[in-house]
Chains A and B, each alone.
Chain A
Amino acid sequence: MTQPTPFEPSRSPMRRPLPRRTFLRGACAAVVAPYLEALAPRGPAAPVRAAWLYFPNGVAEGSWEPRAGRNGQLRELNKTMAPLERHRERLVIPERIFTPRGNGHGAGTATWLTGGGWDHRTLDADGPSVDQLIGQRFAAEHVVPALSISTKGEGFFAADVSRNTISWSAPGRPVFRETDPRAVFEQLFGGGPEADTSLLDDLKDQVRALEKRVSTADRRMLSAYLDAIRSIERRIAFVQDEATARRLEAAAELGLPFDLDRPIEAVPEDHGAYLGLLLDLVALALWSGASRCASVMLDHGQSNRYCTFVPEVKGTWHALSHWRDTSGKTEDDDGVTSWSSRRSKREMYDRVVTWHHERVALLLDRMAALPEADGSLLDHSMVVYGSSISDGHEHGERDLPTLIAGGAGGALRGGRLLARRGATSLDRLHLATLRAVGVPAERFGAADEPLALG
């Protein structure tokens, strides 16, 4: 048996039809951003873009709440959120967020972006999710309108639908999530193995001929097939567009670690480097105009990854999240790891979460450094970061850790705690995001009034 490596250039090379451009090389002063007018061929100069960053297993009770003044002004973030402190003025922390119809590791993950309930029998999360609504609205303008990525799963539940899906294109249709940075890059900027458009035309004809012959249920499958072919066509067109090459050149000048001539490591050994690469790709996708929005799972729901890449941490993430139990013998504990006290276990749990906050802070750094028409990518973006569980041990369903970062093109006023008396559905935040990005939605999930961002 020969075991080919994915995407290994062979006799069937992944053709890269991008023309090499050098006009920006060495001209540091002339760094040009994609959404500066001269280089933006489509859409408004700097549309508002969105990203959702999901993390599993929640945070320990009391590890999210900031210090704020009476008027809601953020004074200091929670100490476990120290890495994000440098972005405090760009953050809004809404209190008392909850999801009325789906909670926990499975249902909560599946419905985090849909505002619906989870039916495990029909695999229905009441999609489409908020990111896909945006992607569908702006499908004509982007090669991958709604990018969907995550880290590669580890341990139990790494293949389970509900714990591995936040993005749904329709009820019962999870969006494929790419986990390999090189493949994400190919998805955005690579032409595919054979950019043969006449073959694609022929395939479309075959599918259309079939559509006349099949039942309604089968027609849905064929329409997914047509969508898949069209997405490949879009990709080819995007890659052959000279502006795309110029965008990539500019990104390289600005320090994004992508260069057409240098292969990207598939999945780096070091988990920090891996996640960093994926988040850099998010910044690149949004900034280059390849995508309007991106949904990212920093890890899959109920992740039981060994977080030994975080200093002074032992055990799996999910085991740590049950921080009140130190026996070392709960659920997915390995029976080898034990903790001396609740306090030490909670500290490790916090450390894992803080480590992920740091990756998010680095993404925000990156977005703030990418220039665009009167501002930065971050100024024109809305980044939602949170989990579907509050306290991991309690499987808490109220006060879900949630924060919003960025300027949303002026719609979002940062540095604030949105103090609220009653529970607020996450649907209202999603509705606000839809509107900020330019989707004229009347309602989302159970919400008909958006969360006030200004």
Chain B
Amino acid sequence: MLNGQKHNARRPSGWIAAVPLILSAGPAPQHRGASSVDDPVTEGRSVIELVCVECHDGDEAEAGFDVARLIRAERAAEHLFEWRRAGAMIETGAMPPPLRSGRGGGLDNDDRASALAFLGAVEREALATGGAAGAEPARRLTRDELTHALGDLLEVEVDVAALMPPELVAENSFDTNGATLFIHGEWLQRADVAVRVAIDAAFPDGPSPGRADGFALAPFLRRAFRRPPSPEELVRYQDLRAARLAGGATAEEALRATLFAVLSSPHFRLRLEDVPERPVEGERAVSAHGLASRLSFLLWAGPPDERLLDLADTGELGEPEVLASEAARLLMDPRALRFARSFAGQWLGTRRVGREFKPDPIDNPAMTDSLMADMRDEVARFFLMLLREERPLDALLLGEETFLSEELARFYGVEHPGGDVARVEAPELRRGLLGKAAVLAATSYPDRSSPVLRGAWILDDLLGTPPPPPPPGASEFDEEAFEEGEARGARGILERHRASPACASCHDHIDPLGFALDGFDRFGRRRDHDDFGHRVKATGALPGGEEFHGPEGLAGAILRDRRTELSREVARRLMRFSLGRPLEWSDERTVVELGAVLEGHGFGALIASLVTSRPFTRIESR
């Protein structure tokens, strides 16, 4: 029953019986029978309405979280993410807060079970009715994509990325997100400069007889626009070239001007391979040329090659088997490393290492730029190996092989055959993601490791259950805390912190995960003593789970107790990265399907299923 007199007092008798529906204010879903007072879902809905709406109502709702609006919504499933947020608060006991009368927070067991039953029903409804294609906005090329496109098309190696302004990125998002790929005059002008520099590099000074004369425009246009050019387009650029020649330009000058015009076109700089002749309402299949670009920009961060375009021309790329086998082919190409660097670096935060995470070079001479680049690269190459070799889910956390430069091998204290980056057997502590130096550094402050950051990273980036942000006024480490640290080590500080119930509701879940990695310092070096000189005790636990020890123990516990969460989160991140948009409630169905593929069949099958999934191969217009 409800917790707290105030709430009880407001409860009209027989109220529940008067309400016929289950999830929403709208008509009751047909697949459900008539509800009764005993139905925990109905009960849960009214528990939430009576307990939460008290404070979470309207524009003035606490924490800006309007539960009243959610309750009133036509379809609860459409607010899946908000309901999940509510669920996390209820489950951890962070909400509802203690009443003024001094009673403890949370709900009693019956009410909590009912509330969670309701939220479970919302999940089921979302999965049953979701699965839509989604509406990806058209977007411009990112700075990296433009660089690779110019390099691939003109067959030059020139770092024009340095000429473009860095991309702004939303917190916790990817640079492929269309919402942050802003277009403005300065971007257009800098892209002009980049194009010009790339053309200059393709036609270096000095006579290059014949090269310009023999240059065929039609194939170039096809690769630049990533689809066959229309006859009008071909004529437009042929005319431009002819006009320049007639005006007295040399063959090379005329060609350069024409290439500049082609590479200035919105059809090159924007992702417009798949624009129907007139707007199409509703859902449709992405065209074969659209698929070719979706595939190549995902796995190469650049334009399709001849073969992909050929398969698009014939329409074969529309066949799921062809799409899947092409994805496998693209992954084997060296260009796939661009994808691994970009995706893994952004997903896991390892791209920060050597950039935002930059230790003072004077105090830390061992942390050279090249070492930190090798650390980032190790994670990218390791992740790419999982895809190329179609490894099972477990390999993500237990994979025994890794990729080390000589410098990184020295840093880890392992043998290296010499020369370039080598594939070697990883020492036990370095297996899988959890022992990688870049991961351990990316989840540290520049001056010290942090069990809190590491725990939050596991909950968010690996398991998709990010802890809520600390409430306003939550203390950071203060002086007192550091006295505690001197006396009892990092563990002591956090235990003291968790003595406060407001902090404990989240930190009880966060900190024990991070402590399992306490045997590594802020650079990912092994250590026996923490930042306060206390002996490390790398034991941790999952919420409600048994204790474990060190990265192997943590990996084992996640793979045993949180397999589903882990595989779904990998799927979510790949979907967000590849679709260039945030996920919506209706994507969860695909997430669940892809997660199951990863869990059951590994990374190769995951990629094949991703690129043949409905959101990837179809698009909605809204």
Binding site for B on A (CB under 8 A): 1-4, 6-7, 10-12, 14, 106, 120-123, 155-156, 158-162, 164-165, 172-176, 178, 183, 187, 192-194, 199, 202-203, 206-207, 210, 212-218, 221-222, 224-225, 227-229, 231-232, 235, 322, 325-327, 329-336
Contacts and interface: CB of A to CB of B under 8 A. Distances in A.
Contacts of A235: 185
A225 B181 CA distance: 12
B38 interface: no
B138 A214 contact: yes
A213 B278 contact: yes
B356 A164 contact: no
A221 B275 CA distance: 14
25 contacts: A1-B158, A2-B158, A2-B159, A4-B160, A121-B582, A160-B170, A162-B171, A172-B179, A176-B165, A176-B184, A178-B186, A187-B186, A193-B192, A199-B264, A210-B266, A214-B275, A215-B135, A215-B279, A215-B621, A217-B137, A217-B138, A221-B139, A235-B185, A330-B476, A334-B447
Nearest to B233: A206
Contacts of A207: 266
Contacts of B279: 213-215
A326 B266 contact: no
Interface string B26-48: 00000000000000000000000
B391 to A, nearest CB: 32
A155 B275 contact: no
Nearest to A223: B183
B270 interface: yes
Interface of B: 135, 137-140, 157-160, 162-163, 165-171, 178-180, 182-189, 192-193, 196-197, 199-201, 205, 236, 260-261, 264-267, 270, 272, 275-279, 356, 360, 363, 445-448, 476-479, 482, 582, 621-622
Contact of B277 (A10, A213, A325): A213
Nearest to A106: B171
Contacts of A6: 162-163, 193
Contacts of A221: 137-140, 178, 183, 270
Contacts of A335: 445-448
A218 B138 CA distance: 6
Given A6-B163, A121-B582, A336 B360 contact: yes
Contacts of B236: 202
Nearest to B166: A159
A130 to B, nearest CB: 19
Contact of A331 (B166, B476, B482): B476
A215 B278 contact: no
A173 B478 CA distance: 38
Given A6-B193, A161-B168, A203-B265, A224 B448 contact: no
Given A1-B159, A194-B192, A336-B447, A123 B179 contact: yes
Given A11-B205, A162-B171, A173-B182, A331 B445 contact: yes
B87 to A, nearest CB: 18
Given A335-B448, A336-B447, A2 B201 contact: yes
Nearest to A224: B183
Contacts of A210: 266, 272, 275
Given A4-B197, A161-B169, A176 B272 contact: no
Contacts of B187: 176, 228
A225 B171 contact: no
Contacts of A331: 445, 476
Contact of A120 (B160, B168, B170, B478): B170
A233 B200 CA distance: 25
A76 B179 CA distance: 48
A371 to B, nearest CB: 31
A225 B267 CA distance: 12
A141 B532 CA distance: 62
B532 to A, nearest CB: 10
A11 B200 contact: yes
A249 B236 CA distance: 42
A1 B199 CA distance: 15
A231 B482 contact: no
Contact of B137 (A155, A162, A218, A227): A218
Contacts of B139: 221
Given A213-B278, A214-B275, A206 B266 contact: yes
A175 B185 CA distance: 10
Given A122-B179, A225-B270, 5 more contacts: A106-B171, A187-B186, A206-B267, A213-B278, A335-B445
Contact of B447 (A4, A225, A329): A329
Nearest to B269: A225
A113 to B, nearest CB: 17
